[in-house]
Amino acid sequence: MLLPPRTVAPSGEGARQNLSCWLEVTLVLRLSLPEWGMEELAFAHWAAPWEGKTAGLAWRRFEPGRWAALSGMPEGVDEVSLSVAEAESVVREVMELLPGEMYHQPALGLVSAFDESFSAFRHRCLKAVARTVQEGLLRRDPAAAQVVAQVIDGIERKTLAPEERQLLEARVGFAFYPEGREPSLPSENLMIEGGKGWRG
């Protein structure tokens, strides 16, 4: 789906005169992992500075809706557009950036988020048992030290098959950002550059 362009509100007076054009892509996917008891929708949001081409762009994840925006082209800028074929090409490129692996810790009943790295999921699993481990160590329980290894060793990895990660919808459009603002994730999230590895 091709979306109309939008213009993000300026961060301060006079910022509108310095606008940068970004290409934004939102993917809606169905994740289906019945053996893990998982069936849900996932949203991927990626953006790249527009360079007049549809391949090899510097993609990054971003969180939409962080700033107010108006529909339409801003005044005084050259019009930009994509054909349906170009939009489809962009979607294929972004699909290649999506992670192809997910993780499960059955003893804890935890499943990774679609864009969660193994290290982040491992940390979340360890955090879930941190209090138990700490209390066991205080009691000098020798089994407490083994819990960490058991949790890590019990994490299952799964490479997603096409039928387990189905693209339901793709939205592609241009957005104009004023100086001081650009597509990004909140500061507490790690920004992942294109080619390295999203939950929307």
Bridge partners for 29 per DSSP: 42, 167
Position 146 scores a pLDDT of 84
| CB distance 99 to 164 below 8 Å | no
| CB distance 31 to 39 below 8 Å | yes
Position 12 scores a pLDDT of 58
Length of the chain: 200
Q: Could you report the per-residue pLDDT of 154-169, keeping only the tens digit for each? A: 999 999 999 999 999 9
pLDDT at 11 over 80: no
Q: Helix, strand, or coil here: 115?
A: coil
Greatest Cα pair distance in the chain: 71
Position 189 scores a pLDDT of 44
| CB distance 184 to 62 below 8 Å | yes
* Own/partner pairs, 148-156, CB within 8 angstroms, 24+ separation: 150/107, 151/105, 151/107, 151/108, 151/125, 151/126, 152/122, 152/125, 152/126, 154/105, 154/106, 154/107, 155/103, 155/104, 155/105, 155/118, 155/121, 155/122, 155/125, 156/103, 156/104, 156/105, 156/106
Give the strand order in the sheet containing 60-61. Answer: 60-61, 38-49, 19-33, 165-178, 6-8, 69-71
Position 73 scores a pLDDT of 85
| End-to-end CA gap in the chain | 18
Position 179 scores a pLDDT of 81
Position 23 scores a pLDDT of 96
Taking phi first (over 0 means left), then psi (-120 to 50 degrees means alpha), and beta for anything else, what does residue 118 get?
A: alpha
Q: Could you report the per-residue pLDDT of 21-61, keeping only the tens digit for each? A: 999 999 999 999 999 989 999 999 999 999 998 899 999 99
Q: Which amino acid is it at 107?
A: A
Q: Quick one: average pLDDT of 6-19?
A: 69
Q: Quick one: average pLDDT of 187-197?
A: 40
Q: Could you report the per-residue pLDDT of 114-163, keeping only the tens digit for each? A: 888 999 999 999 999 988 887 777 778 777 778 888 999 999 999 999 99
Position 192 scores a pLDDT of 36
Position 172 scores a pLDDT of 97
Q: Which amino acid is it at 178?
A: P
pLDDT at 199 over 50: no
Q: Could you report the per-residue pLDDT of 77-110, keeping only the tens digit for each? A: 888 999 999 999 999 999 999 989 999 999 999 9
Q: What's the pTM value of the predicted model, to 2 decimals?
A: 0.77
